[in-house]
Amino acid sequence: QSVLTQPPSVSGAPGQRVTISCTGSSSNIGAGYDVHWYQQLPGTAPKLLIYGNSNRPSGVPDRFSGSKSGTSASLAITGLQAEDEADYYCQSYDSSLSGPNWVFGGGTKLTVL
Amino acid sequence: EVQLVESGGGLVQPGGSLRLSCAASGFTVSSNYMSWVRQAPGKGLEWVSVIYSGGSTYYADSVKGRFTISRDNSKNTLYLQMNSLRAEDTAVYYCARFSSGPYYYYYYMDVWGKGTTVTVSS
Per-residue pLDDT of chain B (122 residues; tens, 9 = 90+): 999 999 999 999 999 999 999 999 999 999 999 999 999 999 999 999 999 999 999 999 999 999 999 999 999 999 999 999 999 999 999 999 998 888 888 899 999 999 999 999 99
Ramachandran angles phi, psi of B87, nearest 5°: -55, -35
pLDDT 10s digits, A41-74 = 999 999 999 999 999 999 999 999 999 999 999 9
Contact B98, B109 (CB under 8 A): yes
B112 CB neighbours in chain A (<8 A) are: 45-48
Cα A99 from Cα A76, distance rounded (Å): 32
**β-strands A108-112, A9-12 pairing:** parallel
CB contact under 8 A, B114 and A102: no
How far A62 CA lies from chain B's nearest CA (Å)? 18
Cα B46 from Cα A104, distance rounded (Å): 7
Those residues whose C-beta lies under 8 Å from the C-beta of residue B52, and which sit 6 or more positions away, are B33, B104
| Nearest C-alpha in B relative to A106 | B44
A5 touches chain B (CB under 8 A): no
How far B40 CA lies from chain A's nearest CA (Å)? 12
What are the start-end ranges of the E strands in B40-90? 45-51, 57-59, 67-72, 77-82
A103 CB neighbours in chain B (<8 A) are: 47
Nearest alpha carbon to residue A90 among A42, A43, A41, A52: A52
CB contact under 8 A, B109 and A46: yes
Contact B20, B4 (CB under 8 A): no
CB contact under 8 A, B106 and A52: yes
Ramachandran angles phi, psi of B21, nearest 5°: -120, 155
Mind giving me the DSSP string for B84-122?
S--GGG-EEEEEEEEP-SS-GGG--EEEE---EEEEE--
A57 touches chain B (CB under 8 A): yes
